[in-house]
Chain A
């Protein structure tokens, strides 16, 4: 019994030592994420804020389709993402902090569940970009396709893993690769972050390029408003007649 316990301890120690040896001098995934948090401006600019409203334009490349979008997030966990394309209509994803729901012309009004709900909650969390180390339970370094970047794979129970890459010099995000979840299944996407600029102490990407299947979407942020007046009703699941 004693021998067995000793063996167990030895094995555990050797594993720890091995882990320690291999990691000596190397950056961990959390180091990369910590650098990103710092490069983005850290939590300081967010501390005095209660809500943010971001306006965007959306265009589908080569298809002559232009629309608009709006993202509202609050410190209390409520959010509303609204995108509108001509003819297609509005696509809304929202939560009052408890129920996450979506409404569009294709799938109607639904309460999101499982992977779809988790993904929406993660993407729309207040200061989400600064919480990657806590939102995702598993974080590991994965090889980057270019020398100038370093990449981290983030995963957690209830949603497909995402790979985020960062510029080695600026430490700002360059791409996210993942799968978007919908009732129609998972669609792989790559999001590129472009045109970084300072906005009230936060370093933000003002333009994003999303490759999803055969489509390429260009998203341009047109404005940021802090602590706007918001009717809390917009976060609630609409009443059904």
Chain B
């Protein structure tokens, strides 16, 4: 089951794309004997399974990565370099960091491994609360993003503890969880958009935790007055989705209307109930003859790749290609085609994107954009669109690994590049302070202008 999205805690370790070089022989042999491991002190209850986890990670990449040459990376040498470091790691977070460094040699997104003992470091205050409460994962209901170079609240969920505490879009967050809020970054060169992405992701990770626990925050309000509070993490409101090795998910889904224009927002691509809700909403706007439909994919990191086909099929009246997945030994075409039980929506469609739109969001946006079916409005997308699988390894570890490459019908590789919006909207703190959503406003203007042009004709 190809998943173009995130797994575990640090999902899209996006980087510039590795280039497959078919003319080179495979620089590794999966049967290579492991280098002699250093003696391991029994410092961790998980230490005995480290060798098996390392070997399974290395072998899975060697045997299942779509590019047999691994972009020219000497995988045997990588094993020789990282295995002793991994086995000799003083604790599990370090062990998994070394393992992720091994994966980082491939310089691609959707490569991540985690497992028992690889917990987030928490402040003493939070650790105490987390152990006392436990339970479902929650968050206080805010989105923090890099706006004009500062960590800024861009969205406050209505009714959330953040809203009740008086936090508003435009506030600047200086500290979160007792530490200055800066992006946790991998040890490699990042593209500018990745800097913005990692700040958002770091904030998201810190904000998430067991429902009922609190997180401290220092901020500057919209008059730049400093403030400090402890925010309670609200229990998730949506229905939990459990799929394979993914952690329990609570996809957020919103349907709104701006006049006669429909807006559908969702923060993960997951079939089941969520897909049913999306298709029902599209059908509702089709029946209501809405002149425009906005798919808000901002902050949507992806999920089940095939869902791009399901959604695109509801927006086209003829067969189109969204692109091609190149696997190790075959390719699959993402073809969105009409089906007997679907009446497609034929009005204007706009997709909203930002630096948090990745993977399946990018596949859907790029494919429909190239087909001329949608306009993309907002910010550049992340450029992390490699289909992946999430597998369980020995010792309870979970590995997300790349299984295919993805190119648009025109042959454009999205990985490391992203989707360029048709209308780029640069967001400002000022517009957030004014309570405006500049990206959404631009999309609404675009649809209304088209509606007027059509009416004149």
Contacts and interface: CB of A to CB of B under 8 A. Distances in A.
Is B one of A's binding partners?
yes
B392 A107 contact: no
Given A105-B271, A110-B340, A185 B330 contact: yes
B329 interface: yes
Contacts of B160: none
A64 B339 contact: no
Interface stretch (A26-34, A68-76, A83-91, A161-169): A83-91
Nearest to A183: B335
Contact of B391 (A63, A87, A106, A237): A63
Contacts of B331: 185
A238 B341 contact: yes
Interface residues of B, number: 36
Nearest to A61: B391
Contacts, number: 96
Interface stretch (B190-198, B221-229, B240-248, B361-369): B240-248
B310 interface: yes
A137 interface: no
Nearest to A62: B391
B244 A103 contact: no
Interface in A167-187: 179, 183-187
A184 B319 CA distance: 12
Scoring A88, A89, A106 by chain B CB atoms within 10 A of each residue's CB, the highest score goes to A106
B188 interface: no
A185 B332 contact: yes
A92 to B, nearest CB: 12
B242 A86 contact: yes
A108 B313 contact: yes
Contacts of A185: 330-333
Given A105-B271, A188-B330, A213-B329, A240 B310 contact: no
B328 A214 contact: yes
A213 B241 CA distance: 26
A183 B340 contact: no
A65 B339 contact: no
B333 A108 contact: no
- What size tier do the contact residues of chain A reach? 20 to 34
Given A87-B241, A110-B339, A213-B330, A65 B1 contact: yes
Nearest to B403: A214
B309 interface: yes
A180 to B, nearest CB: 10
B306 A106 contact: yes
B272 interface: yes
Contacts of B307: 106
A108 B341 contact: yes
Nearest to A215: B1
A60 interface: yes
Interface in A95-140: 103, 105-111
A108 to B, nearest CB: 3
B392 A108 contact: no
Contacts of A60: 1, 244
B337 interface: yes
A135 to B, nearest CB: 25
Contacts of A86: 242-243, 272
A213 B327 contact: yes
Contacts of B328: 213-214
B199 interface: no
Closest 10 CB pairs of A and B: A108-B339, A109-B341, A62-B391, A87-B272, A214-B403, A109-B340, A184-B332, A87-B243, A63-B244, A64-B244
Interface of B: 1, 64, 241-245, 270-272, 275, 304, 306-307, 309-310, 313, 327-335, 337, 339-342, 389-392, 403
Given A106-B309, A213-B327, 4 more contacts: A63-B391, A106-B307, A107-B337, A237-B340
28 contacts: A60-B1, A60-B244, A62-B391, A63-B245, A87-B242, A87-B270, A88-B304, A89-B272, A105-B275, A106-B306, A107-B313, A108-B340, A108-B341, A108-B342, A110-B339, A111-B340, A179-B330, A183-B333, A184-B332, A185-B333, A187-B330, A213-B328, A213-B329, A213-B332, A214-B64, A214-B389, A237-B340, A238-B341
